[in-house]
Structure 1
Amino acid sequence: MHTMVFSSFMLFFCNNKGKISSLLYNLCLIMMMYIMIFVDNYFNVYIMNEWLFLNQYSFMFVILTLLILSLMFLSLGNNEFNWSLLMLMLIILLIFVLMCFTTSYFILYYLFFEASMFPIMLLIINWGKKSYLRVESSLYMFMYTFISSLGMFYLMLYLMDLGMLKFFMVNSLSNFDSVCFTIMVWGLLTKMPLYMFHFWLPKAHVWAPVYGSMVLAGIMLKLGGYGMMWFIFMGNNSVNYESTSFIVIFSLYGGLYTSMICMYQIDMKSVVAYSSVVHMSMVISSMMTFSMSGMLGAQIMMIGHGIISSGLFYLVNMNYERTSSRLIVMNKGFMNYMPSLSLWWFLMSMSNISMPFSLNFLGEVLMISSLLNWSIYFIFILMPMMYISSYYMIMLFNVQHGLNNKNMYFFTQCKIKEYIIIIMHWFTGNISFLFIDKIMDF
């Protein structure tokens, strides 16, 4: 952590931008390898100090954070506007997210949870697509996420008055009833997001730069899921399960309706953004079943979705840099120019619809089994949702086909760095299936 803070100040005295981004990329990878070796020796819960800890839930999200941010640092160009300030914002964001995943005090979790939104807002406003709508989208994100979590903040203050300061302590709280659980979860559902609270997400994705979209889809949506896991275990013994059935049903119907919205989107980035809402709706509903398979499937799905959706946003940006448009009709015929890139479009699209042997596949199997154990009638919602999800991802891949695109006046081939970023996204999202027993052990 001290090394990262020192690097952020050194940005202002160094002119070689490529070396700095490579340094931060390698630093994230070194931290990730150190933590993986570290967990082989210390498993279950390891208390680093009074404030920080690693357990079976935070470990995978810390690895995901370091992976996505390392790829994001690698994707940065040398011609970014106000490059030093951009790198400083990204490092601050990295510190906030890592502190959010490793803190043992839930009031600190809330503070870092909210503070991590401000670097994202600055990324959208300063480095987003040049339009006044980028300010509107950042205000949407702030109003939805901050106001919805005020009830959670007041409840945390109430728990602190009772002497419950850490996540571990709240398990012994006898009056953590359904009302407290609903207030606590309310702010997290907007971050994930739940349908009807998702309007900020497509707007933020459309106007954010590519590295902002990679962070939003790969990391920021997982902050709410991580907190949801903790609060479900906090209220597991005192919450009336029937009170959560409304969230389960509403989330599934919202996912079905959002998948239909994806079918008539004309912007490729909007399709990927709305598909995130569909995936998160299944994550929310499966966690609300309070079953072990649902919790494990939700965790695996969040890890897999964070990797694959980040890669899809990067693929969309690769098309945008060559056609100056994200419209589906303006990106037809890419296979005629770059067949190898079309191959990665196919592989990433299939991973997003949970083909074997991806993490999404195992996550969906576990989540569907937990939902069908809750009610067999959910199959009439899950079947059309999965069919429509496959349809709009095939529609997105179909952009690669067609006649020659006359919009490509100045066409440039892909760089090696771009292929490396896509390969690392696909490789980690699929080859991790071989090490799934390690994940399940946690």
Structure 2
Amino acid sequence: MFNFTFNPLLTLLFFPLCGLFFLLIFIPDTKKNLIKVFSLLITSITFLISLFLWINFYESTSQFQFFTTYTVIPFFNINYTIGLDGISLFFILLSTFLINLCVLISWESPKFFVKEYFLCFLFLEFCLLQIFCVLDILLFYIFFESVLIPMFLIIGIWGSRERKIRAAFQFFLYTLVGSLFMLGAICFIYAIKGTTDLQILWFTNFPFSLQLILWILFFFGFAVKIPMFPFHIWLPEAHAEAPTAGSVILAGVLLKLGGYGFLRFSLPLFPYASLFFNPFVFILSLIAIVYGSLTTLRQIDLKKIIAYSSISHMGFVTLGIFSLNINGIEGSILLMLSHGLISSAMFFCIGILYDRYGSRILKYFNGLVQVMPLFTIFFMFFSFANISFPGTSSFIGELLILVGLSKISFSLVAFALLGVLFSASYAIWLLNRISFGTLNLFYLNQFQDISRREFWILLALSFLVLWLGIYPSSFLYEINFSTFNLFKHLSL
């Protein structure tokens, strides 16, 4: 059933790389419009191929589909093995969709090094797709770290303010140092087992004491990427200095790499250690929820408000993952997908204001509903989606996580609900502060509502948020069997 002479997954994985080389070699730097159109064409075709994979995905199995393997280094028993299951499928779709939007978002923003800017996004897409499909832990690590290169350049070169170099290095060094611990664990696993093939290692029983050590080493690599408290220091600075498209892809996909790593590696490879450490993760997650929410309330930079709120939402995700039951894990996957859409939309809205008025300081914005009614409607919708309003995508994810936590302890549910209360506080406060009140004409005296391009981008994101919130079963069907397969490893 899964033998393909033509493997569409392989086409998907290498199509952005082919586009990158064509753009690099054949299109000159001076043809800026051609560069943009070609980049949009490549990312659009990549997104359509990912939709083709979804359409042809067989939902009633936990096996990896579109599976193929190639020998890379025979002497070291390292193979390039790829496959798609219900967990990775939607992260692939999220990545291809948001990269495509990033090209549209950046249609007018890069004023210099335009070709290099879009080359970074094509290379970033190539690395992200590999991360979600490769089934070898060493190759996963290589691609996992490769995303640092284009993001470092995007923040450091095309960032919006003078602190962009500092933010780029902070992002790079924090995430790199955390991942070095994981590299040590991977090398040790290869030394004792002679393979880095994930499907073989899933059925390898590591001694409990060894599981504890390896789990901690993997934890550092994934916790920095999410980022969990107290490894979050790099995130607000990176978001504040990144261009709008950089913030969108950073919040939309890169923050999900840590959660995906926990699901794909930490839980199935080290099930007993995951059970042993889940109180520790619960404590860090609850601190992140409360700390992220309270810190959000005292920010004056619009981007930092959304960045700190992301720390709080990702605290919910780690609570769901380490609840170690079906409801919590499926809820965490849905919440990651939802957060990828909503946070991307929120950062895009902030980017619209920054492009118009050259500032992100909160005190300058008042009463925008009077002069930017379309913008205010979308901003209100995404603000309510951000607080998990019923009918939006986050509501389903957080509800499943709370159901999963209720099977462990109602005290956990009570503390987690504090995050819901705080998120409502800062989201409604921000919405009221920006949209209503008296126009601040002393600072801002020229106004322009959203353009046609911005309208269609926000409309597409709104549609997906509503789809995931109203009809989540269309996503849960594919996720369900893969989650049961993961849960089987946890029940060893």
TM normalised by structure 2 equals 0.86
What's the CA shift for 1:25? 4.3
Distance 1:7 1:237, change over 3 A: closer
Unaligned 5+ segments in structure 2 are 1-12, 70-80, 479-492
Return the letter of the residue paired with 1:58.
Answer: S
- The one-letter code sitting in structure 2 at the alignment partner of 1:351 is A
Kindly report which structure 2 residues correspond to 1:2-401, keeping only aligned pairs within 5 A, or say none. Answer: 2-11=14-23, 12-13=27-28, 14-17=31-34, 18-40=36-58, 44=62, 45-50=64-69, 51-78=81-108, 80=110, 81-131=112-162, 133-161=163-191, 162-175=193-206, 177-235=211-269, 237-239=271-273, 241-398=275-432, 399-401=434-436
Cα distance change of structure 1 residues 185 and 47 upon mapping to structure 2, 3 Å threshold: farther
> Is 1:405 aligned to residue 417 of structure 2?
no
Corresponding residue number in structure 1 for 2:6: none
CA drift at 1:159: 1.4
Q: CA deviation at 1:21?
A: 4.1
In the alignment, the residues of structure 2 paired with residue 272 and residue 227 of structure 1 have an alpha-carbon distance, to the nearest angstrom, of: 24
Structure-2 separation of matches of 1:310 and 1:327: 19
Distance change in 2, residues 1:174/1:22 (3 Å): closer
Q: Distance in 2 between matches of 1:237 and 1:8?
A: 40
Residues 8 and 370 (structure 1 numbering): CA distance in 2 closer, same or farther, change over 3 Å?
A: same
Q: 1:347-395, CA deviations, whole angstroms, 9 ceiling, x for partnerless residues?
A: 0001111112122111101111222222211234223221111110111
* Contact in 2 for aligned 1:170/1:234 (Cα 8 Å): no
Letter in 1 for 2:335: M
The answer to whether the 8 A contact 1:308-1:429 is kept is yes
Asked if structure 2 preserves the Cα contact closer than 8 Å seen for 1:293 and 1:370, the reply is yes
Shift of 1:397: 0.8
* Preserved CA contact (<8 Å) 1:171 1:233: no
Cα deviation digits, residues 59-109 of structure 1 (max 9, x gap): 010000011111111111246221101111110000000011110101111
3-state SS of the aligned residue for 2:68? coil
Corresponding residue to 1:421 among 457, 464, 480 = 457
Q: How many equivalent pairs are there?
A: 441
**Cα–Cα, structure 1 residues 33 and 211, in superposed 2: closer, same or farther, change >3 Å?**
same
User: Per-residue CA shift, 1:309-364, capped at 9, x if unaligned?
Assistant: 00000000111122211111111111110112111111000111111212211110
Distance 1:325 1:262 in 2: 18
The answer to whether the Cα contact below 8 Å between 1:191 and 1:223 also exists between their aligned partners in 2 is yes
Query: How big is the shift at 1:434?
Result: 4.4
Once residues 275 and 360 of structure 2 are traced to their aligned partners in structure 1, the CA distance between those partners, rounded to angstroms, is: 44
Q: In structure 1, how many angstroms separate the alpha carbons of the residues matched to 2:414 and 2:119?
A: 48
Task: Judge which range, 199-208 or 246-255, deviates more.
Answer: 246-255
Task: Kindly provide the CA deviation profile for residues 220-271 of structure 1, in whole angstroms up to 9, marking residues without a partner as x.
Answer: 0111111110124324643362432112122212211221111111111111
Distance in 2, matches of 1:233 and 1:243, equals 11
Aligned-residue identity in percent: 26
d(CA) in 2 for partners of 1:240, 1:145: 22
Q: Which amino acid aligns with 2:186?
A: M
**CA deviation after TM superposition for structure 1 residue 35, in Å:** 1.8
* Uncovered stretches (5+) of structure 1, i.e. residues with no partner: none
Residue type of the partner of 1:291?
Answer: N
Distance 1:42 1:117, change over 3 A: farther
Equivalent pair of 2:226/2:258 in contact (CA under 8 Å): yes
CA contact (8 A) 2:160 2:243 kept: yes
Q: Determine the C-alpha separation between the residues in 2 that align with 1:359 and 1:137.
A: 31
8 Å contact kept, 1:32–1:67: no
SS for the counterpart of 2:447 is: coil
Task: Point out the more displaced range, 251-260 or 269-278.
Answer: 251-260
| TM-score normalised by the chain length of structure 1 | 0.95
Query: Residues 319 and 331 of structure 1 are in contact (CA less than 8 Å); yes or no, is this contact kept in structure 2?
Result: no
Given residue 413 of structure 1, which amino acid in structure 2 is its aligned partner? D
Deviation, 1:2, is: 4.9
- Secondary structure of the equivalent of 2:56? helix
Q: Is the 8 A contact 1:248 1:286 kept in 2?
A: no
Question: Could you tell me how far 1:293 is from its partner in structure 2?
Answer: 1.2
Alpha-carbon distance between aligned partners in 1 of 2:290 and 2:59, rounded to the nearest angstrom: 43
TM-aligned CA deviation for residue 43 of structure 1: 5.3
RMSD, matched Cα: 1.8
Q: Deviation at 1:405?
A: 2.7
Offset from partner CA, 1:379-436 (integer Å, 9 cap, x none): 3422322111111011111111111231333333321000111111111122133442
Distance 1:129 1:374, change over 3 A: same
Secondary structure at the aligned position of 1:420 is classed as: helix
The 8 Å contact of residues 278 and 322 in structure 2, kept in 1 or not, is answered as yes
The residue number in structure 1 matching 2:8 is none
The letter for the 2-side match of 1:238 is Y
